[in-house]
Amino acid sequence: MPRWWTRIQVWLRSHDPELAATRRAARTALVMPALFALCTQVFHSSAMATFAAFGSFSMLLLVEFTGPMVQRLRAHVGLAVAWLLLICLGTLAARESWVAVTATVVVGFVVLFSGVVSSVLAGASTALLLAFVLPVTTPAPLSQLPERLAGAALASAAALLAVPLLWPRPTADPLSAPAALVCRAAAAQLRTDASHLAAEADAPGVRTCRDAADETAVATADLRTAFDGTPYRPTGLSAGSRALVRLVDELTWLSTIVADSAPPPGGHPVCDPQALVVRQAAASVLERTADLLDAPRGSPDALRAETARLRAAMDRMERSATALLPVHLPGPSTEPGVRAFLESLDMSFRAQELGFATLQIAGNVDLAAAAERRSWPERLLGLEPGGPGRPLTAACERAVAHLRPNSVWLHNSLRGAVGLGIAVTLALQTGVQHSFWVLLGTLSVLRSNALSTGQNAIRALGGTIAGSVIGAGLLQLIGHHGTVLWFLLPVAVLIAGIAPAAVSFAAGQAAFTFTLVILFNINQNPDWHIVLLRVQDIGIGCAVSVLVGLFFWPRGAAAAVDRALAEAYTGSARYLAGAVEYAVGRCGVRPTAADAPLEEGREAAAAARRLDDAFRSFLAERGAKPVSLADLTTLVTGIVGLRLAADAVLGLWQRASERHAGTDRAEARLVLLGAAGRVAGWYRDLAVSLAGRSAVRDPLPRDPAAEASLVESVRRDLRDADGRASDTAVRVIWTVDHLNAARRLQPSLAAAARPGETA
């Protein structure tokens, strides 16, 4: 290849991961000029040409549906039908000014808010808005409606051919492959560590275990790089893609657990054969998980069978762990003695923690694969995989759930709808030519952060002026040789599609303005004066977006993420405290019939979903980020660790069946409640700090006095008639271990939260 072509490829791949923007731009550069030429030169219809050009621009550049090719084509058919309906509605509404404004607000809200129902609707929102904005801002007699519909139909037919034939998008999610590599690397490390800990004749040495751990760390780092490498999440909005996004956090958490459970540099810990079986079973589950990630539409039966084996191995390990507690020895009176007593269960606890995290990951991947196997109506209406009820019922329930004052989707939808309505009003009242440009300016820069909106308005105006100056200079240069514009149009479309993602928002705005300058001057006497009028029109649209952004959301998505983080940490801390209270109720002489904190778990999960929505809006918001993405990702991942600890404690005690009589175990219960209160209290204080009402507390240190009390209580109160440790003793110690795991998260979370104190 020529050297210049190689350099272009390298530059594109470094600035446009997966070449997603380049793919869309290349398709549009081929299709849009061809349709425009067909309509102007063959059909001699300017209205048909306008709607064919903007229709192809919308359907090929502004949307890219995911999933199998059949599902994508169905989505494009649905988009085509929606375009035809919205063109009819917009043409009818444009006949009266007040009807046009009212219809714009209603349609804008419905289109934007419907994105909460499913990823299909969310990904097509901008394209659907353009389908209504174009006719409502260009009033025309009803006799012109057939030509408009014909142009949109041509664009739809061209899109249906271009999507499967012109550089089709890969079916696999870009996070699937690196996630599968992490699963396989972790599985290999678990098998290597298990062989070493079993002290087999040909067991690998510590060096081999360390190399396997390094491979897992590298694979995890590559996964985080794929996730954090761009301002936008490198994955779709579908249920399967969202599950893979959660999988990134869970695999990061798994890699931490695997690293902590690796063999120590010197010597062997007390070996628990059942813990080694759990490690091997977890490795098998991770291998089957990787297989399902590579082929998400394959059968999940193998994964589910290995998952059942892992659960059985964990149950056997819990029953056998009682033999590891040295309750027959004299009571330890020193801190090293206390720690040695507690660490006697360390290997089995690590295996239990590892097994639980593996089960969570397997369930998430099974959910993602089930999402890929959904039917088209279920995808369109956002029915969760395995969810009860009909798709339409599920869609209505999801929409109603977001009709609340703190909903990010509701804020975005109201703000966008009112902004578009104000823009239409100003366009009609000022009488500017081509009022569509006013709406174009509003759509281009209206974002959730008022400050960021202002920055984008400046960039939009700067890019528009630059594109206008370049366009005016070009028109002056070519004079009456208008044929040159036909050759420049595909190049301009290509650059306009790549520039926003690979260069900057301002560069994309300049390229888009330059494209429209060419489009509106083809087959006419090139007139550079008309270019200057576009700056005025887009300036009005930018001013509207700034005004509406300031009015509806002064602090933007960053503030929403802070609130969502605070709610998620508060809910997860409440869930952890509730799980420990349930454990306390189960470990008495007469276990109480206390209800499991299922409601707290559901509330914590709902808060985590709202955090995911706010985080997605934050990532999609253009402009400078007031918070480091790495720090914010750490805080979001902390929610996963906290909820997994609560889930593990709850599952541990739900499986408890011991009913033997003994002492009242009051001291053990007090230790559990005290440890849970301290850990949950720290996270509640972190939530208050994230809301901006206090400074971040220092992480909690270890509490040797509480550990000594726990050991003494276990040795005195939690033995059976034969003097052996009871199942309850093991569960008590493992519960404290889970609380300590949540406590060990605190230093990294405090470091990530503290930069926000001075922001």
Q: What is the mean pLDDT of residues 513-534?
A: 68
| Residue 433 pLDDT | 56
With a CB cutoff of 8 Å and minimum separation 6, the contacts of 611 are: 561, 564, 565, 567, 568, 636, 639
Q: What are 368's two structure tokens?
A: 């993602």
Decide: residue 715, CB within 10 A, 0-12 exposed, 13-18 middle, 19+ buried. buried
**Which one, of 605, 160, 121, lies nearest residue 391 by Cα?**
121
Residue 561: which pLDDT band, with cuts at 50, 70 and 90? confident
Report which listed range, 210-224, 373-387, 568-582, is most confident.
Answer: 568-582
DSSP 8-state code for residue 693? S
**Is the CB of residue 505 less than 8 Å from the CB of residue 463?**
yes
pLDDT at 585 over 90: no
Q: What are 672's two structure tokens?
A: 């559990």
DSSP 8-state code for residue 42? I
Residue 234: which pLDDT band, with cuts at 50, 70 and 90? very low
pLDDT at 483 over 90: no
Cα 677 to chain centroid distance, Å, stands at 31
Q: What is the pLDDT of residues 449-463, one digit of tens each?
A: 555 556 666 676 677
**Is the CB of residue 244 less than 8 Å from the CB of residue 367?**
no
Single-letter code of the amino acid located at 713 = S
Distance separating alpha carbons of residues 194 and 206, to the nearest angstrom? 12
Lowest mean pLDDT among 108-112, 169-173, 474-478, 678-682: 169-173
pLDDT at 584 over 70: yes
Kindly report the backbone phi and psi dihedral angles of residue 553, in degrees, each rounded to the nearest multiple of 5, phi listed first.
Answer: -150, 80
Residue 554: which pLDDT band, with cuts at 50, 70 and 90? very low
Q: What are 108's two structure tokens?
A: 């804008």
pLDDT at 722 over 70: no
CA atoms within 13 A on the CB side of 199: 7
pLDDT at 526 over 60: no
Coil, strand, or helix at residue 725? strand
Report which listed range, 1-15, 227-241, 373-387, 559-573, is most confident.
Answer: 559-573
pLDDT at 759 over 50: no
Decide: residue 92, CB within 10 A, 0-12 exposed, 13-18 middle, 19+ buried. middle
Numbered ranges of CATH 1.20.120 in the chain: 557-757
DSSP line for 73-101: HHHHHHHHHHHHHHHHHHHHHTTSHHHHH
Residues 341, 344, 347, CA angle at the centre, nearest 5°?
A: 150
C-alpha distances in angstroms, 66 versus 62, 121, 458, 497? 13, 12, 33, 19
| Residue 29 pLDDT | 94
**Is the CB of residue 84 less than 8 Å from the CB of residue 152?**
yes
Q: What is the mean pLDDT of residues 107-126?
A: 81
Distance separating alpha carbons of residues 151 and 132, to the nearest angstrom? 14
| Residue 187 pLDDT | 93
C-alpha distances in angstroms, 1 versus 4, 8, 17, 22? 8, 11, 21, 19
Tell me which of 1.10.3470, 1.10.10, 1.20.140, 1.20.58 is the CATH number of domain 176-372. 1.20.58
Lowest mean pLDDT among 299-303, 354-358, 537-541, 679-683: 537-541
Q: What is the pLDDT of residues 723-757, one digit of tens each?
A: 566 677 778 888 888 888 889 889 989 988 876 44
Coil, strand, or helix at residue 675? helix
Decide: residue 177, CB within 10 A, 0-12 exposed, 13-18 middle, 19+ buried. middle
C-alpha distances in angstroms, 649 versus 275, 485, 578, 586, 687? 18, 68, 10, 12, 22
Q: What are 285's two structure tokens?
A: 């589950």
Length of the chain: 759
Residue 686: which pLDDT band, with cuts at 50, 70 and 90? very high
Q: What percent of the chain has pLDDT over 70?
A: 70
Q: What is the pLDDT of residues 701-710, one digit of tens each?
A: 888 777 777 7
**Is the CB of residue 506 less than 8 Å from the CB of residue 462?**
yes
**Which one, of 645, 635, 642, lies nearest residue 572 by Cα?**
642
Q: What is the pLDDT of residues 30-52, one digit of tens each?
A: 999 999 999 999 999 989 999 99
Which of residues 150 and 3 earns the better pLDDT score? 150
pLDDT at 660 over 50: no
Q: What is the pLDDT of residues 308-326, one digit of tens each?
A: 999 999 888 877 776 666 6
| Residue 346 pLDDT | 72
**Is the CB of residue 518 less than 8 Å from the CB of residue 471?**
yes
Coil, strand, or helix at residue 719? strand
DSSP 8-state code for residue 696? P
Residue 574: which pLDDT band, with cuts at 50, 70 and 90? very high
Q: What is the mean pLDDT of residues 258-286?
A: 78
Q: What percent of the chain has pLDDT over 90?
A: 20
Q: What are 102's two structure tokens?
A: 């009212």
**0.85 cut: is pTM over it?**
no
CA atoms within 13 A on the CB side of 228: 16
C-alpha distances in angstroms, 539 versus 449, 464, 480, 534? 19, 9, 29, 8
Coil, strand, or helix at residue 592? coil
Q: What is the mean pLDDT of residues 503-518?
A: 80
Q: What is the pLDDT of residues 602-624, one digit of tens each?
A: 888 878 877 876 776 676 555 55
Lowest mean pLDDT among 88-102, 116-130, 159-173, 255-269: 255-269
Residue 272: which pLDDT band, with cuts at 50, 70 and 90? confident
Coil, strand, or helix at residue 625? coil
| Residue 394 pLDDT | 57
pLDDT at 237 over 60: no
pLDDT at 141 over 80: yes
Tell me which of 1.10.3470, 1.10.3210, 1.20.120, 1.10.10 is the CATH number of domain 557-757. 1.20.120
Average pLDDT for the chain: 78
3-state helix, strand, coil in the chain (%, to 5): 75, 0, 25
Q: What is the mean pLDDT of residues 166-192?
A: 84
DSSP 8-state code for residue 481? -
Numbered ranges of CATH 1.20.58 in the chain: 176-372
Residue 472: which pLDDT band, with cuts at 50, 70 and 90? confident
Q: What is the mean pLDDT of residues 634-657?
A: 83
| Residue 694 pLDDT | 80
| Residue 754 pLDDT | 79
| Residue 230 pLDDT | 43
C-alpha distances in angstroms, 352 versus 90, 643, 645? 60, 16, 11
Distance separating alpha carbons of residues 674 and 118, to the nearest angstrom? 43
Distance separating alpha carbons of residues 356 and 649, to the nearest angstrom? 10
DSSP line for 318-334: HHHGGGG--TTSPPP-S
Which of residues 724 and 688 earns the better pLDDT score? 688
Residue 758: which pLDDT band, with cuts at 50, 70 and 90? very low
Count of beta carbons in the 10 Å neighbourhood of residue 451:
18
